[in-house]
Structure 1
Amino acid sequence: MWRIFPAESIQKGRKLACATARRSYNHQQKTKAQYFTSALCSIATGKDKGTASEPAFIKAELNLGKSRLQEKSSIKHDRLESWNINFSDAKNAYQSKSMSELVRALLVYKLCGINKLVDYNIELATCTQKIFGQKIFKILMKSTFYGQFVAGENENEIKPMTDKLHKYGVGAILDYAVEEDISEEEAKDLEMSSCVSTSNQSQTGTVDHKFKAHREFGDRRRKVVSARTYFYKDEAKCDDNMKMFMKCIDAASITTSGFAAIKLTALGRPQFLLQFSDALIRARSLFDKLSIKDVDILEKGFDIDRFRKKAKKLGIPMSRDKSQEWFTWMDVDESGFVDLLDWDQLISSNKKFSEIFVVPNPQTGEMESLLNDMSDEEDAQMRRMLKRMDTLALRAQNQGVRLMVDAEQTYFQPAISRIVIEMMRRFNKKRPVIFNTYQCYLKESFNHATVDLALAKKENFYFGCKLVRGAYMEQERERANTLGYEDPIQPSYEATSQNYRKCQDLLLNYIKSTNKANMMVASHNEDSVKYAMQRMHELGISAESKSVFFGQLLGMCDHVTYPLGQAGHSVFKYVPFGPVREVMPYLSRRAQENRGMLVGAQREQKMLQREIARRVFRSSAS
């Protein structure tokens, strides 16, 4: 019978209708083909006004065909808006921007391409302040870099920006971008003093040299352009950081599905994170020695017979009764098989932290703590760090805000992730409040996400996850090479992208099957964003479900952010704020990051040029 064509297939409609006409042998068939040819072309071009001379049978079939065509077009339009977004449409992407904002953005991107300017940006800024004074310097910065990447100096100044974002379907993640401008030597001094034990100044309380402080890597800002760095000074400074994070949580509560972001190194002495990370990795190493080999991460483990056999092979002295006692202690769910979820359980206790995390010692056959060499004051400092984290989580829960804990260096991250999972257990019982961050450039990130998801499913709490590529690649590789441990980074950019997609699939499948997880795709990479939307479409996860979020930095990647918001997706901008002078380190990193993202920045420049030209010519024509 007759085929109904999509509106855009004008040429195909003509050809098929003409072919049908040639195959017609009687006048009625010829008339029918001619009318369909004409009608299809009219409908496809939007010029169909009806034809007075149409025979009745033609009019009936045309009306039926037109109604089907309109229905099909409507369905396709909805799909295009929700998952097949055009990120090359400059007019649509920049409709929220004034002409002056477009010109400023283009100027800033051009300046970021000047290597000398970026390399010496701090020195040039200091010199400009001395020559022209603070007032003129502030005007210059607000007209260029500050105006592009920072929303304002305080909570009141940023409100017009957050209101504007909201108007175009974009949320705000407030970020107090003030950083102390300290020298490299000062940073190293602070790091070394905060990463050694107060009871033994020459030790960090760790065994693996990866988790020891090394002065040559003491300035954690080195070769890092997309992440903020906090250095520990004292407990009062940590309290100040907590109060600022609380202000961001309160501000985020104004909008629905609000987010706030924090870093654990801002909340306490990093020595604890080093010691705890070292303990976790050593415990995992012992688990791997006892476990079944060459199986998926969730299938690893051991039963009582394997435990006795491997313990004997490892030279762990124990009687049959002692081995049964150990195994019973480790078999948390009493299944007769100790898996990684059992092994990773923290013992809830009111003891000192150094007495909590205990495992069998292969040499002595006795239980011993993996957190040692901690003074009473250090134990108190660690408890205060966790108390600050607890205070922020409770505030976020009460304010209806989601709290994202940013990832940090690999020698801190095992402890950070473990603490965040413990927070999820407590606060994610009714909705996702706490979000962990997974850096997909790390080889182990997929396995870590898999185990954490399995724990969430087993214990029936909501899972919150932010996926990023990672911010510390150069620093991590140099440190691993210098200290002689395995490089934790994926071997190539493509391997990182593949791992990012694997993590997206893992999370999206979990969201589809359980509806008990949220994922933030925090990326400026168009392919990663498109892949997430495509998989959402295939799995039937709608944008309206508010279970998948997207995030980009203010002043960057607007051609991705705004079309996502206009299509109904939950998308957010990281919105930094703070006084001009005190956010200079942040602005310095943004300049370096834009220089490093040459391909994306060049594409965005071309889109800005195209939109500026379009507006100029439109204005001239009118």
Structure 2
Amino acid sequence: MTAVEGSRRATYNIFRRIFSLQTRHVLVFSSSTPPIVWKPSARDNKEIEECYQRLDLNFENGKEAFKSKTNYELFRAVIVLHLCSYEMLVKNNVAILNVLRKLLGQKLFNSALKATFYGQFVAGENKDEIEPTILKMQKFGVKSILDYSVEKDVSQEEVQKKAFERMDDGGQIKSVSLKQVIGEKTMLQTHRKYDVYKEFADRRQNVVSARTYFYEGEEECDRHCEIFCQSIDAVASATGGLGFSAIKVTALGRPALLLKASESIAQTQNFFQAITGSTRENLVLSKISEKDFLQKIQNYGIKTDSKMVQEWFKMVDFDEDGFVDFYDWAELFDEDKKLGQMFQVYNIKTQKIEPLFVKLSEEEEQEFANMVDRVARVVDYAVSKGVRIMIDAEQTYFQPAISRLTMALMRKHNKERGWVFNTYQAYLKSCLHDVQLDMHIARRENFHFGCKLVRGAYMDQERQRAAAIGYEDPINPNLQATAEMYNRVLTRIIQERDLRGPGQVSVMVASHNEDSTRFAVQLMKDKCIAPSEKVICFAQLLGMCDQISFSLGQAGYSVYKYVPYGPIEGVLPYLSRRAQENGGMLLKAKKERRLLWRELMRRIFVGQLLYKVPDHAS
């Protein structure tokens, strides 16, 4: 094998890690498989009842929730959250900070921020500074998810330039061929969703609660990889193996390649649905025999080698039932006989036989391979350090590739316990379907399914993009529909735990919503799930919703704070988003301010002007 062939084989193997749904150790559960009845022990029952009784489900007990805070911290929180309620300050926070920097000078400016907004929402500048905050929270039952929150100030012009750099048609799926199978309308609508558009290149627009990375070259992606590994070191050192680290895939490669990979996945699913006559709702149950498959593709005018198809069926029909299902179908991306070789169609315009699917160019394949390698390197490093890792969700047009990669990493690392967690956004119409599909894969291949469930961070941006480009709005119609989706997904995950048993499924309820939190707590009680079983845990942002986090932690539930850290100037974009997010959550922030102020006044009236934080929660 030549050096070039070796390099291509290495790249090919990396692609396998993404697109393969290999089924080497298959557990078969039929749709009628009854849930297993898991009876909690007497010890579990006692824990469930004690934790439930200790928790104030109204989240009104400020004395208990804020016992870990000094009077100064209470006062700072009241002031900062109150300032966030002024729309004028929130909208113009960047300009105001720039003026303050000029008036005060850098040193005084830094001190003022540390005493206010930075001190409220950020744990410190480095590993040494954040450790006291982490240890203090641990004493009161709250663990940490660390995130190095430094962001670069990149101009919109530079963002747009980089987005279209070296873009070509080499990786696009050929419309003339594909439309014969799935129909021109479906094919074009799918392509529009996953194409690059100048007006939407700056993904910071209309996004409040999520950080955005932009592609600035392979070296910058390598630097992000090192930063993520350093953050993992900080988690391992500061939390004693109790914490999480979080990463974004768009920080580790060129986002445009995720678009192309995601379109390949989406169009392949379209192809499978057209061949089998299935829909998204019954995709998991759909399958096709060799005979029917050959007949279908002949009906569509696709010329292929029947012997090759027979060999392919034997190769991917792992349970040897004479059918290929959706999971087997994904193997088409990975075998040596690629899609382009196996399925060809006569192009009327060119009068030539051409491949149905076209993959990335060689240069793009190498860049994509680099991206996958960086993600795998970070996850491998986290597991080696005993740190669990969450892959953050991003925009829907990136998500198919991100989710496929995350599932491949789950398959690799989650055999014994949940090291890798995928993120699902409940504001999406497809959320329940996506979770069920991935849980089915995890069950079928017998690995732990780890999930972080959020409402979502890109609602306005997603809706504007869908309306402008002309594809279906992926977002639920209203807040009530999103709340219902959140509860349905959470319920379905717990049903999966009932089906597979303890230790096979875990979900992080990452929400500032009290109703969702109450629903999860009640679900744990109704399903006899002890907090120590670690099926359900909770998470909120540092400096926000402490009445939820610390009430849960001190009652015995597993709860985390998302803990940002980094130099002051580098985290200003993060602080700007926190101000906007609090401004957009007026009712929730109003309750938190009321509880903070009430507890501060209570301490003053009972003579606790020099309140001393207890050594532990009890």
TM-score range, shorter chain: 0.7 to 0.9
Greater Cα shift, 313-322 or 278-287? 313-322
Contact 1:441–1:469 at 8 Å: present in 2 too?
yes
Q: Which of 279, 283, 294 is 2:264 aligned to?
A: 279
- C-alpha displacement of 1:578: 0.8
Question: 1:372 maps to what in 2?
Answer: 359
Question: 1:409 maps to what in 2?
Answer: 395
Q: Which of 121, 137, 155 is 2:109 aligned to?
A: 137
Greater Cα shift, 390-399 or 258-267? 390-399
- C-alpha displacement of 1:276: 0.6
Q: Return the letter of the residue paired with 1:601.
A: A
| Cα distance in 2, alignment partners of residues 587 and 423 from structure 1 | 32
Question: 1:33 maps to what in 2?
Answer: none
Q: Deviations over 1:394-436 (max 9, x none)?
A: 1121122111000111111100000111111111111111111
| Cα distance in 1, alignment partners of residues 213 and 452 from structure 2 | 21
Question: 1:175 maps to what in 2?
Answer: 147
Question: 1:544 maps to what in 2?
Answer: 532
Q: Secondary structure at the match of 2:157?
A: helix
- C-alpha displacement of 1:271: 2.5
Contact 1:177–1:576 at 8 Å: present in 2 too?
yes
**1:501–1:316 CA distance, 2 compared to 1 (3 A):** same
Q: Deviations over 1:17-70 (max 9, x none)?
A: xxxxxxxxxxxxxxxxxxxxxxxxxxxxxxxxxxxxxxxxxxxxxxxxxxxxxx
**1:610–1:268 CA distance, 2 compared to 1 (3 A):** same
**1:357–1:416 CA distance, 2 compared to 1 (3 A):** farther
Contact 1:82–1:569 at 8 Å: present in 2 too?
no
Question: 2:492 maps to what in 1?
Answer: 506
| Cα distance in 1, alignment partners of residues 341 and 561 from structure 2 | 43
Question: 1:58 maps to what in 2?
Answer: none
Contact 1:178–1:582 at 8 Å: present in 2 too?
yes
Contact 1:439–1:470 at 8 Å: present in 2 too?
yes
Contact 1:206–1:274 at 8 Å: present in 2 too?
no
| Cα distance in 2, alignment partners of residues 329 and 536 from structure 1 | 43
Contact 1:440–1:469 at 8 Å: present in 2 too?
yes
Question: 2:231 maps to what in 1?
Answer: 248
Q: Does 1:217 align with 2:205?
A: no
| Cα distance in 2, alignment partners of residues 447 and 107 from structure 1 | 43
Contact 1:121–1:588 at 8 Å: present in 2 too?
yes
Question: 1:266 maps to what in 2?
Answer: 251
Name the % identity: 42
| Cα distance in 2, alignment partners of residues 592 and 577 from structure 1 | 19
| Cα distance in 1, alignment partners of residues 397 and 89 from structure 2 | 33
Question: 1:617 maps to what in 2?
Answer: 605
- C-alpha displacement of 1:366: 7.8
| Cα distance in 2, alignment partners of residues 274 and 621 from structure 1 | 57
| Cα distance in 1, alignment partners of residues 395 and 247 from structure 2 | 15
Q: Deviations over 1:454-503 (max 9, x none)?
A: 11111111111111111101001100100001111111111111111111
| Cα distance in 1, alignment partners of residues 267 and 555 from structure 2 | 47
Q: Deviations over 1:280-332 (max 9, x none)?
A: 00000011112244663321232234424433443334576565455445535
Paired positions, count: 541
**1:262–1:350 CA distance, 2 compared to 1 (3 A):** farther
| Cα distance in 1, alignment partners of residues 385 and 435 from structure 2 | 27
- C-alpha displacement of 1:373: 4.5
| Cα distance in 2, alignment partners of residues 413 and 372 from structure 1 | 18
Contact 1:90–1:611 at 8 Å: present in 2 too?
yes
**1:102–1:206 CA distance, 2 compared to 1 (3 A):** farther
Question: 2:415 maps to what in 1?
Answer: 429
Greater Cα shift, 274-283 or 75-84? 75-84
Q: Return the letter of the residue paired with 1:574.
A: Y
Q: Secondary structure at the match of 1:224?
A: coil
Contact 1:549–1:570 at 8 Å: present in 2 too?
yes
Provide TM-score, normalisation by structure 2.
Answer: 0.82
| Cα distance in 1, alignment partners of residues 469 and 154 from structure 2 | 26
Question: 2:433 maps to what in 1?
Answer: 447
Contact 1:171–1:573 at 8 Å: present in 2 too?
yes
**1:372–1:308 CA distance, 2 compared to 1 (3 A):** closer
| Cα distance in 1, alignment partners of residues 381 and 388 from structure 2 | 10
Question: 1:146 maps to what in 2?
Answer: 118
- C-alpha displacement of 1:356: 7.7
Q: Does 1:459 align with 2:442?
A: no
Q: Return the letter of the residue paired with 2:406.
A: V
Question: 1:384 maps to what in 2?
Answer: 370
Q: Does 1:234 align with 2:217?
A: yes
Q: Return the letter of the residue paired with 1:246.
A: C
Contact 1:204–1:271 at 8 Å: present in 2 too?
no
Question: 2:21 maps to what in 1?
Answer: none
Question: 2:156 maps to what in 1?
Answer: 184
**1:324–1:607 CA distance, 2 compared to 1 (3 A):** same
**1:421–1:141 CA distance, 2 compared to 1 (3 A):** same
Let me know the Cα RMSD of the aligned residues: 2.6
| Cα distance in 1, alignment partners of residues 366 and 580 from structure 2 | 39
Contact 1:83–1:533 at 8 Å: present in 2 too?
no
Q: Secondary structure at the match of 2:129?
A: coil
Contact 1:358–1:370 at 8 Å: present in 2 too?
no
Provide TM-score, normalisation by structure 1.
Answer: 0.82
Q: Secondary structure at the match of 1:425?
A: helix
Q: Which of 78, 86, 90 is 2:62 aligned to?
A: 90
Question: 2:483 maps to what in 1?
Answer: 497
Contact 2:229–2:378 at 8 Å: present in 1 too?
yes
Contact 2:156–2:202 at 8 Å: present in 1 too?
yes
Q: Which of 564, 576, 584 is 2:552 aligned to?
A: 564
| Cα distance in 1, alignment partners of residues 332 and 563 from structure 2 | 36
Higher relative CO (Cα under 8 Å, sequence separation at least 6) belongs to 2
- C-alpha displacement of 1:249: 1.4
- C-alpha displacement of 1:257: 3.3
| Cα distance in 1, alignment partners of residues 483 and 597 from structure 2 | 29
Contact 1:206–1:212 at 8 Å: present in 2 too?
no
Contact 2:48–2:530 at 8 Å: present in 1 too?
no
**1:373–1:384 CA distance, 2 compared to 1 (3 A):** closer
**1:371–1:608 CA distance, 2 compared to 1 (3 A):** farther
Contact 1:252–1:259 at 8 Å: present in 2 too?
yes
**1:467–1:527 CA distance, 2 compared to 1 (3 A):** same
Question: 2:179 maps to what in 1?
Answer: none
Q: Deviations over 1:103-161 (max 9, x none)?
A: 11111111111111111111111111111100111111111111110011111111111
Q: Return the letter of the residue paired with 2:70.
A: S
**1:605–1:84 CA distance, 2 compared to 1 (3 A):** closer
- C-alpha displacement of 1:182: 2.1
Q: Does 1:533 align with 2:533?
A: no
**1:120–1:612 CA distance, 2 compared to 1 (3 A):** same
- C-alpha displacement of 1:558: 0.3
| Cα distance in 2, alignment partners of residues 501 and 363 from structure 1 | 49
Contact 1:84–1:533 at 8 Å: present in 2 too?
no
Question: 1:112 maps to what in 2?
Answer: 84
Alignment of 1:476-495 (within 5 A): 476-495=462-481
**1:412–1:620 CA distance, 2 compared to 1 (3 A):** closer
Q: Secondary structure at the match of 2:607?
A: helix
| Cα distance in 2, alignment partners of residues 181 and 558 from structure 1 | 30
Question: 1:342 maps to what in 2?
Answer: 328
